[in-house]
Amino acid sequence: MAAQRIPKLKTILTVAKKELTDHLRDRRTATMIFLLSIAMGPIILLGLGYFIGSIEAKAEKKEIYVVGNEYAPDLINFLQRQDMKILPPKPEFRALIKQGNHDAVMVIPADFNEKFLTGEAKVELVYDDTRQSASAASEGVLRRVLRAFNTEVATLRLMARGVSPSVLRPVEIQDTNLGTAAQRAAGVLFIIPWITLIGCVTGCTAMAVDLAAGERERGSLEPLLMTPIGRDALVMGKGVAVSIYSLGIAVLTLMGFALTLKYGNLPAIGSVLSLSAAQYGMFFLMLLTFAPAMAAIQMLLATYGRNFKEGQTYASYAITLVALIPSVAMFAQVKDATWQLFVPVLAQLMVITRLLRGETTDLIHYLLPAAINTAIFVVAMVLIARLLRQEKIIFGRA
C-alpha cells in the first residue's frame, strides 16, 4: 500500500513543480506580484505611522486659534500661563475647517467678560468632527484647556467664599488601566493580519483561475486528462502548486511588515510593538494550512468558469468574503470565543491578533483551524476531480 502511495506522491510533486515553473515563466507578472506583496508592509505601516504621529503631534502642540482675545483677559491670561501660543485664525476659517484645512477655533463673544462675572459666559468651538485631520485633534486641545480653566476659576471662587474646593469632587477617580502599550498598538495594527490574509487569497488568484478556467478556455484540459497521471494526482498537483504560491505571497507580505517594524523609523508604532521570531513563526503556522484552503476554494470556484474572465469572477467571491468577514467582526465588536476557531479567516485573525497583543495562545488555537482548513482543501480537491469527470466541464467553453 505504501509502495503505491509513493509514486502518486512523486507524481503530485512533479505536477506541482511543472505548474509552478510554467507560471513563474511570466517573470514580469511574478515580479510585480512579489514586489507588491513585500512592499505592502512598508506602505501601510509608514502610512499608519505618519497618521498616528501627526495626530499625536497636533495633540501635543501648544498652539490654539482664538477670535476675540480682548473680550476675555482672564481666560487669555490662563492660556498664556499654560504656555499656549495664541494665534489668530484665517478670516475664512469656517470654510477652511469644513474643508479639513484649518485647526479648530475658539470664538469668544463680545459680552464674555460681562457674563463671566455672573457665571453665564459662553465660548464657541468651531470644528468639524467628520474630518480625521486638523480640527479633530486641535478641538480636543481646546476642550482640555477650557476644562482646566473652569476648574481653576471654580476653585478660586469657592476659596474666596470660604468653601473647600473638595466639594467639587465628592468622588475621587483612581485610574487602573490594565491595557498594555502593545495591546493598544495591536488595536491600530489590526490591519497587519487582515492584509496578510487577503494577500493569501489575492496573490494566487491569477494562478488558481489559470489552472482551472484557463486550461478549459485554451482547450488544454482534455490532453491533460488523457495522460496516465490520473485526475486525482493532476488536481492535487495543481492544488499544491497554487498553495505554495499563495503561501509564498503571504510570507513575503509578513516579511514586509517585519522588516518595516524592525528597521523603519516608526516611533509612534515601533516603540510599543516588538514581535519576536517565535511570534512570526506562529503567524506562519496559522497561514500554513490557511493558504492551501483558500487556494483550493478559488480553484473550485474557477472550475465552473468556461473562460478565464468568468473563472476570475467566481474566484473574486472568495476575496470578497476574506475582506468582509474581518470588517463585520470589527464593527460588530465580536469578542474572542471558541466558535471563531471553526470559521476560516476569523480563526486566523483572532489568533494572530492575540499574538500581536502579547496574549497567550493554546494548542487548540492552532490545531482546530488547521484541521478545518485541511478538510476544506481535501474536500475541494475531491470536488474538482469529480467535476473533471463531467463532459460539460471538460468540453464546455465560451
Q: Retrieve residue 343's grid coordinates.
A: 470559521
pLDDT tens readout for residues 355-390 = 777 778 888 989 999 999 999 999 999 999 898 888
CA distance to 169, 170, 176, 233, per residue, from 173 (Å)? 9, 10, 10, 68
Mean predicted confidence (pLDDT) in 54-63: 66
Q: Where are the domains of the chain?
A: 9-51+182-394, 61-168
Confidence (pLDDT) at 311: 86
CA dihedral sign, ordered 359, 362, 366, 372 = negative
| Cα–Cα distance for residue pair 373/342, rounded to 1 Å | 9
| Cα–Cα distance for residue pair 242/301, rounded to 1 Å | 14
Order the strands of the 124-126 sheet from edge to edge: 85-87, 63-67, 105-107, 124-126
Confidence (pLDDT) at 173: 73
- Can you say how many angstroms the Cα of residue 234 is from the centroid of all Cα atoms in its chain? 36
Residue type, 285: L
In this predicted structure, the answer to whether residue 83 has a pLDDT above a threshold of 90 is no
Name which of 184-188, 314-318, 374-378 the model is least confident about: 184-188
Give the model's confidence band at 2: pLDDT under 50 very low, under 70 low, under 90 confident, else very high: very low
Confidence (pLDDT) at 367: 92
In this predicted structure, the answer to whether residue 64 has a pLDDT above a threshold of 70 is yes
241: left (phi over 0), alpha (psi -120 to 50) or beta: alpha
Burial class (CB in 10 A: 0-12, 13-18, 19+), 233: buried
User: Strands 105-107 and 63-67, how do they pair?
Assistant: parallel
Higher pLDDT, 367 or 31: 367
Contact present, 100 and 54 (Cβ < 8 Å): no
Mean predicted confidence (pLDDT) in 102-106: 89
* CATH number, domain 61-168, options 2.60.40, 3.90.1150, 3.30.2390, 3.40.190: 3.40.190
Burial class (CB in 10 A: 0-12, 13-18, 19+), 130: exposed
Higher pLDDT, 293 or 166: 293
Confidence (pLDDT) at 182: 59
CA angle 376, 311, 29 (to 5 degrees): 95
Other Cβ atoms less than 10 A from the Cβ of 351: the count is 25
